[in-house]
A and B are shown apart, each in its own frame.
Chain A
Amino acid sequence: MGWIGENLGSIRSLQTRQSLTQAVNLGLVVTSALILWKGLMCVTGTESPVVVVLSESMEPGFQRGDILFLHMNQDPIRAGEIVVFNVDGKDIPIVHRVIEVHERQDTREVDVLTKGDNNLKDDRLLYPYGQLWLQKHHIMGRAVGFLPYVGWVTIIMNEKPVIKYLIIGALGLMVMTSKE
């Protein structure tokens, strides 16, 4: 009876160790993803280093599902740059081109007007009523790089949450069952 109990104990401790290892591995995956994201935020100087194009307003240059890499520094905003900005009262960031800039002599503050390449009119209709210009604080970053199609992953996951949970479930299951 004694040796069975001992063996059972060692098997149990082996199982605990295995599941502990798996938990640590899972934690490593999650934390390294977080480190990568936060590191990118530091390097690019913007809160969202990567954005997914959601609208057709910049077609055919940027299509729905393409992703843009953003960069933000102290360089002044200039006409022609593609910027990502937030409008007060709306939470979806907009990716459009700067078509007009007025930079003050004394404060160096800028008034900026934007427009989507594929839109007929400038963005004054998107700004809150009575607002004529964007200021620096509205602008989250300027687009510096481009990668097609990759953003479809997040669009699909947002529009079909079922698929998101299936993928998370499948990945979780793989982590739990893998014995390596």
Chain B
Amino acid sequence: MGMHSFGNRANAFVTFAVTILAVMCSLASLSDNFNVHTPTADVKVFNINWFQKQPNGNDEVSLTLNISADLSSMFTWNTKQVFVFVAAEYETPQNALNQVSLWDGIIPSKEHAKFWIHTTNKYRFIDQGSNLRGKDFNLTLHWHIMPQTGKMFADKIVMTGYRLPEEYR
């Protein structure tokens, strides 16, 4: 049982391999910090399909959206995918902030990161209460960069100036 027994060599080798792997993972994750993000996004409310008060008293609205965005600058060699979603954000007398996700998608690669979609809201747009008539709201396009390894990044573009109808329809 000397310095150069099989156990010692195996131990040294595994320690070395794991250390190298850890350093490479850290470097890959750190390199993401040098990437400059230049996203563009545009969301238009194409139509208000219907707008009602539910029997329980909560307002619900159905929208058709035109979403276009270019998130190709998010992709680096360490990017596994980018999760993108559009949320309606607004304030009510009861709530300081309401965030309701309307649509989301997974962008698997840089080639798919410049997209255009015409869609009704994938998730229900329901208020906690009856505050949506004539309500001003923001649409925000959020992205969440999911890496091959390491730190995750998230940010958003806020688009203002949207308004719901004064009456149910």
Q: Chain A interface (Cβ within 8 Å of chain B)?
A: 60-62, 78-82, 97, 99-105, 108, 111, 117, 122, 143-148, 174, 177-179
Q: Does B19 contact A (CB under 8 A)?
A: no
Residue in A111, A117, A144 whose CB lies within 8 Å of B106 = A117
Let me know if A61 and B96 touch, CB within 8 A. Answer: no
Q: Which residues of B contact A105 (CB under 8 A)?
A: 93-96
Let me know if B151 and A144 touch, CB within 8 A. Answer: yes
Assuming A61-B83, A79-B101, A80-B85, is B152 touching A99 (CB within 8 A)? no
Let me know if B99 and A108 touch, CB within 8 A. Answer: no
Let me know if A61 and B80 touch, CB within 8 A. Answer: yes
Residue in A79, A117, A143, A148 whose CB lies within 8 Å of B99 = A79
Q: Closest CB-CB distance, B168 to chain A, in whole Å? A: 21
Q: Which size bracket describes the interface of B in this complex?
A: 20 to 34
Assuming A79-B142, A117-B83, is B148 touching A174 (CB within 8 A)? no
Let me know if A101 and B151 touch, CB within 8 A. Answer: no
Can you list 12 A-B contacts (CB < 8 A)?
A: A61-B80, A61-B106, A97-B83, A101-B98, A102-B95, A145-B151, A146-B146, A146-B149, A146-B150, A147-B25, A178-B1, A179-B1
Compute how far the CA of A100 lies from the CA of B106 in the bound complex, rounded to whole angstroms: 18
Compute how far the CA of A100 lies from the CA of B99 in the bound complex, rounded to whole angstroms: 5
Let me know if A61 and B146 touch, CB within 8 A. Answer: yes
Q: Which residues of B contact A111 (CB under 8 A)?
A: 128
Let me know if B85 and A99 touch, CB within 8 A. Answer: yes
Q: Which residues of A contact B42 (CB under 8 A)?
A: none
Q: Which residues of A contact B95 (CB under 8 A)?
A: 102-105
Residue on A nearest B153 in the bound complex, by CB = A144
Residue on A nearest B29 in the bound complex, by CB = A145
Q: Does B100 contact A (CB under 8 A)?
A: yes
Let me know if B101 and A61 touch, CB within 8 A. Answer: no
Q: Closest CB-CB distance, B39 to chain A, in whole Å? A: 15
Assuming A61-B80, A79-B101, A99-B85, is B152 touching A144 (CB within 8 A)? yes
Residue on A nearest B105 in the bound complex, by CB = A117
